[in-house]
Structure 1
Amino acid sequence: MKVKFNGRKQPGFYAEVKQEVEEYFKTNNISKNANTAMVSKSIFFLGALVGLYLLILFGGFSLSIMLILAILIGMVQAFIGFNVSHDAIHGSYSSSRRINKLMSGSFYIIGANPYVWTITHNQVHHTFTNIPGHDEDLDVAPGLVRVSPQDDHKPIMKYQHFYAFFLYGFASLSWVFRKDYVKFFQKKIGQTDNTNHPRIEYFNLFFFKALYYALFIVIPLIVLDITWWQFLIGFLIMHMAEGFVLGLVFQLAHVVEGTSFPEPDPQGRVDESWAVHQMQTTANFSTKSPIATFLCGGLNFQVEHHLFANVCHIHYPEISKIVARIARKYDVPYHVNPTFLGALASHYKTLKKFGRGEMVMQPVKA
């Protein structure tokens, strides 16, 4: 079933938003791509990864300090995904395809595959956001965590608002050892065809996974003077830190109070335009926090990202003012949780509602 959006409904909203955003960049003579601040962020996070990696291998620290470094390097890998890889894979880092491809390679060094991400995220998630059966980002932990009204409900899920956060920690491990392989060889991602991959992508999948395993498993086991079980603890802690950051940031953008989970009619029709659908299914958080914006790579401005994925996230704080104003004009939802803790509480409540088997979430004021 192919999902079709109603392009005739509220066409003025997106047209006006696009026009004003275009005018913003033209009037201020600003590129939509990375600026000096963005390049500095990239150098900072990539440099932090290299620095922490070398400290772990050759620093000669105590086991307790090594554990702290493992947590930090896991978090930094998540921040690289948010701040560098994500923009590059969307093609918004630079106007040059070559530079975008080069920067997309940062995904390989955190154990992920940019080609698979392009399909699952750019093509599927950004088109069919929060539509069960199409947006596979809703498959957090099938059978254990229920994050949409259409998911099957099981008795254990009444406790999911407690244990789901622990399961988020396994997101990175799953990504590195399972998810990319499964998604690559699936015939469909949601309802989107996933066959006929270029031959080079088969090589890239296995070669760069092997390279990651060599860097983060083989070399540490050879160089570090620790036992195998001490390494295993550090490796798991690193990935739990990375997975928790990844899982939490993505969940706070789509599975909170107020966001919707539309179900197409039997003909696959959604009675909203694509742009309004994005506004209904997406939420911002901590938009006034420079720290959140710096660390999350603009993913706390998820609304703007979904409308303008071709714009570098460094510009989201400014264009969010345009989107919010025009959304009010057209009476289109603009979901915002002002603080990180507020977004976290909203996600907790949403998990609790779905865990109880409730089918409909009550909206909250933006």
Structure 2
Amino acid sequence: MRGDWFALIAAPLFFWILGVNTFHDAAHFSLHKNWKVNRFVPYLFPILTSPLAWYHQHNIGHHSYTNVSHRDPELAHFTFWKREHKSVKWRPAHEKQRSPWFLLFWWTVAVEIAFATMNDLWMIKDKVYNECVPMKALSRRRLLCHCLGRVIGAGFLFVWPFFFFDTWTRVIIFAVVPYVIVSNLFMVNTQINHLTTDTAHAGDEDWFKHQVVTAQDFGVKSKFCFFLSGGLNLQVTHHLFPTVNHCHLHKLQPIVALLCDKYSVKYKTYSGYFDAIRAHHDHVVRMSYNDDEH
């Protein structure tokens, strides 16, 4: 708030580290034994997303129907200009996603503008999240509180610099740069786990096998990947045990890997962020082509 330049990097970075290591577990009711604590904690991070929308999108839709056509709402984000699954009808606009710059742009605007604002508004308007998950009925008071929370979230991101700084340069930089960093950190740690060539269209009639083949891990032995991702790098184990706090996942992961090997269940891992991001981008490029032509 003083306008120190180092805070442009430090504030969003530590916000992300604190948020991802608490928000995700709390939203899965695995941060604390008291459910009320788990219910409250996600509201401490209004910049990330609305807890209400998150429960619909992530807990109810994505974890129950991972990568299942017209059931997993995370396959249906802004499909009019982005395509990451065959269930999405191809459009000429999807050709643009072949460029790495498209991926960077999408990751930059995704969190607050796309997920936490636009998807939230559409859910309230249509009473369904991404045409997949029916919205829970809300009282007028609850709906008012929800909308007020989204306004406060946007205020934390974009409005406060106008009241603290006397130059447009600082206003614009401090309103944009921290958000860009948080959004990219969110996307790089979430999009590489299910949307690759090996996982996006995989599936199995057995629910547990389905969770394994539709997800992938990265940097399973890396403390850096584990800390920066809040345990999201152990995605396969998380999907098998979504209500287990992520601090236990590194102990469960070797057991899961051994069982998968024993029963010949494909268990995909990447060495780290770089390989996982490259695999995700390769998949996005594939999805940019018309299925009828290729």
- Secondary structure of the residue that 1:331 maps to in structure 2? coil
**What is the aligned residue count?**
289
Q: Is the 8 A contact 1:70 1:235 kept in 2?
A: no
Residue 52 (structure 2) aligns with: 115
Q: Is the 8 A contact 1:286 1:339 kept in 2?
A: yes
Q: Is the 8 A contact 1:71 1:238 kept in 2?
A: yes
Residue 64 (structure 2) aligns with: 127
Per the TM alignment, residue 71 of structure 1 is displaced from its structure 2 partner at its CA by 4.1
- Secondary structure of the residue that 1:336 maps to in structure 2? strand
User: Under a length normalisation based on structure 1, what TM-score does the superposition of the two structures give?
Assistant: 0.72
The residue correspondences of 1:57-136 to structure 2 (distance < 5 A) are: 57-58=1-2, 60-61=3-4, 65=5, 69-108=7-46, 110=47, 112-136=49-73
Per the TM alignment, residue 78 of structure 1 is displaced from its structure 2 partner at its CA by 3.5
Residue 187 (structure 1) aligns with: 127
Cα deviation per residue 1:1-24 (whole Å; 9 max; x = unaligned)?
xxxxxxxxxxxxxxxxxxxxxxxx
Q: 1:201 to 1:335 in 2, by over 3 A?
A: farther
Q: How far apart are the structure 1 equivalents of 2:7 and 2:275?
A: 29
Q: How far apart are the structure 1 equivalents of 2:137 and 2:269?
A: 40
Q: Choose the corresponding residue for 1:283, options 196, 210, 216.
A: 216
Residue 189 (structure 2) aligns with: 249
Residue 229 (structure 2) aligns with: 296
The residue correspondences of 1:1-366 to structure 2 (distance < 5 A) are: 57-58=1-2, 60-61=3-4, 65=5, 69-108=7-46, 110=47, 112-162=49-99, 163-174=102-113, 175-189=115-129, 190-227=131-168, 230-261=170-201, 272-357=205-290
- Secondary structure of the residue that 1:356 maps to in structure 2? coil
Q: How far apart are the structure 1 equivalents of 2:136 and 2:88?
A: 27
Q: How far apart are the structure 2 equivalents of 1:158 and 1:148?
A: 14
Q: Is the 8 A contact 2:48 2:112 kept in 1?
A: no
The structure whose RCO (Cα within 8 Å, separation 6+) is larger is 1
Residue 52 (structure 1) aligns with: none
Per the TM alignment, residue 355 of structure 1 is displaced from its structure 2 partner at its CA by 1.7
Structure 1 stretches of 4+ with a deviation exceeding 4 A read none
- Secondary structure of the residue that 1:284 maps to in structure 2? strand
Cα deviation per residue 1:63-98 (whole Å; 9 max; x = unaligned)?
xx2xx5334433444334421111001100011112
Listed as ranges, the gaps of 5+ residues in structure 2 are none
Cα deviation per residue 1:179-224 (whole Å; 9 max; x = unaligned)?
2232244322343321412555313312322333444444332122
- 1:126 aligned partner, one-letter code: H
Q: 1:218 to 1:352 in 2, by over 3 A?
A: closer
- Secondary structure of the residue that 2:84 maps to in structure 1? coil
User: Under a length normalisation based on structure 2, what TM-score does the superposition of the two structures give?
Assistant: 0.88
Listed as ranges, the gaps of 5+ residues in structure 1 are 1-56, 263-269, 360-366
Residue 40 (structure 1) aligns with: none
Per the TM alignment, residue 273 of structure 1 is displaced from its structure 2 partner at its CA by 1.7
Q: Is the 8 A contact 1:145 1:157 kept in 2?
A: yes
Q: 1:111 to 1:247 in 2, by over 3 A?
A: closer
Q: Is the 8 A contact 1:282 1:303 kept in 2?
A: yes
Q: Is the 8 A contact 2:95 2:289 kept in 1?
A: yes
Q: How far apart are the structure 1 equivalents of 2:82 and 2:259?
A: 35
Per the TM alignment, residue 279 of structure 1 is displaced from its structure 2 partner at its CA by 1.2
Per the TM alignment, residue 331 of structure 1 is displaced from its structure 2 partner at its CA by 1.4
- 1:99 aligned partner, one-letter code: V
Q: How far apart are the structure 1 equivalents of 2:38 and 2:106?
A: 32
Per the TM alignment, residue 314 of structure 1 is displaced from its structure 2 partner at its CA by 0.9
What percentage of residue pairs aligned between the two structures are identical?
A: 24
